[in-house]
Amino acid sequence: MGKKSRGTKPAKQRMPFVARTFEGLPSEGDWVAMREFVPSATALVSLRDGGTVRICSLLPGAGAGLVRPDGEIWVGLQVMHNHGDISRDLAHVIETARETEPGTPIRMTPPGVGARLQDLIDPDGAFEIELHDGFDWWLVEEDRGSAEAASALQEANATVAPTTRLTATDSAYVTEMGDHAYLRWIMLDEEGPLLDAFARLRAAGTDSLGDGAKLIGIFRAHGLLVPVWELDGVGATELDAAVPDFVAVLDEAKAQTAELSAAERTARRDLVSRQVTIR
């Protein structure tokens, strides 16, 4: 008889794909922004069991997470891994970190089926983003005198595009990119009706956010639509002032139930066909 065949370890089951992976979390739109385009930001979140975790836009080496020397858990959002449900991936990082010694980076491994962020994070807790000009917050005190750390930090800081969050609405960010500036506003509305509303505004010529803020397209991110305006000589202060009037116009368009006109259908096709990629 031949040798007894060696069994192979069964692969972990995968979580089903979830498009709107951050739905149900506090400030869903800000999670999407930190994941997709906010360069340097952090937010402290409360867990259901009373603990806390610091959510970070980007960690050194685009790491999935780390346990700081003081034991605080950091989770990086801008990472390459995607095992079907990003919420499950990130929850797995937290679970792994809880079993990891302080001062240790967390490597992403296949998470299998299990808890999602929505199962771990207190739904009544705050998600208040703190924007940073660079990545100095990466360093622990003993690294600040290191020439190697200073060089790596300088390189990382050079990639940061100045970013400002509007205060007149949720999850809307102005980003300066060289000679250009853009407003990206993550909206939580259902995609179809929101596209119809923007089509009505575009056909009517009312889709700008005042002078100097031209709508150039809409992209999708994690199941949500993100309209993008190109800015010319206007900043966060002027946009905050323009938001209430624009919201009123948009709400009026969303409330309309009539079929789209020919011009509005053309505008809708134009918006759908534009894939705006700034990041």
Task: Give the position of tokens 């100095």.
Answer: 136
Q: How are beta strands 52-56 and 73-76 bridged, if at all?
A: parallel
Whole-angstrom Cα distance, residue 278 to residue 177?
Answer: 9
pLDDT of residue 11: 60
Nearest CA-CA partner of 186 in 122, 267, 137, 129: 129
Whole-angstrom Cα distance, residue 131 to residue 38?
Answer: 8
pLDDT of residue 148: 83
DSSP secondary structure letter of residue 128? -
Question: How many helices (H) and strands (E) are present in the chain, helices listed first?
Answer: 7, 11
Ordered per-residue pLDDT tens for the chain, 279 residues: 444 445 555 566 888 899 999 999 999 999 999 999 999 999 999 999 999 999 999 999 899 999 999 999 999 999 987 788 999 999 999 999 999 999 999 998 999 999 999 999 999 999 999 999 999 999 887 777 788 888 889 999 999 999 999 999 999 999 999 999 999 999 999 999 999 999 999 999 999 999 999 999 999 999 999 999 999 999 999 999 999 999 999 999 999 999 999 999 999 999 988 755 443
pLDDT of residue 4: 45
Whole-angstrom Cα distance, residue 75 to residue 93?
Answer: 7
pLDDT of residue 143: 73
pLDDT of residue 273: 83
Q: Can you list the alpha helix ranges (DSSP code H) found in the chain?
A: 28-36, 86-97, 117-120, 147-157, 191-204, 236-255, 262-273
pLDDT of residue 248: 98
Annotate 57-91 with three-state secondary structure: CCCHHHCCEEECCCCCEEEECCCCCCCCCHHHHHH
pLDDT of residue 123: 96
Domain boundaries, the chain: 28-157, 163-273
Structure tokens, 107 = 């490597």
pLDDT of residue 181: 97
Q: What CATH architecture is 163-273?
A: 2-Layer Sandwich (3.30)
Whole-angstrom Cα distance, residue 276 to residue 218?
Answer: 6
pLDDT of residue 15: 83
pLDDT of residue 275: 59
